[in-house]
Amino acid sequence: MGLIAVALLISSFTRATNNSLLCSLAGSYTRADADSDSSATSNQLLAILHYATSRVVPQQSLGEIRVSFDVLRSLSPCNFLVFGLGHDSLMWSSFNPRGTTLFLEEDPSWVQTVLKTAPNLHAHTVRYPTHLSESDSLLSSYRSEPDCLPPKAHLRGNTRCKLALTSLPSEVYDKEWDLIMIDAPRGYFPEAPGRMGAIFSAAVMARARTRPGVTHVFLHDVDRKVEKTFAEEFLCRKYLVKAVGRLWHFEIPPAANVSDGSSLSGFC
Residue 11 pLDDT level (bands cut at 50, 70, 90) = low
State the Cα torsion 154-159-165-168 to the nearest 10°: 100
State the Cα torsion 184-54-98-119 to the nearest 10°: 80
Distance CA 202, CA 180 (A): 7
Residue 252 pLDDT level (bands cut at 50, 70, 90) = very high
How much is the average pLDDT of 193-219? 98
Instruction: Give the helix ranges, DSSP H, for the chain.
Output: 2-24, 31-53, 62-75, 89-94, 108-117, 135-141, 170-174, 196-207, 225-230, 262-265
> What share of the chain in percent tops pLDDT 90?
73
Asked whether the predicted pLDDT for residue 259 surpasses 90, the reply is no
List, for residues 47-68, the tens digit of each pLDDT value: 666 666 667 767 899 999 999 9
Asked whether the predicted pLDDT for residue 169 surpasses 90, the reply is yes
> What share of the chain in percent tops pLDDT 70?
78
Q: Where do the domains of the chain lie, and which CATH numbers do they carry?
A: 59-265 (3.40.50)
How much is the pLDDT for 24?
Answer: 36
Asked whether the predicted pLDDT for residue 229 surpasses 90, the reply is yes
Strand pairing of 240-244 and 215-220? Answer: unpaired
Q: Are 213 and 253 in contact (CB under 8 A)?
A: no
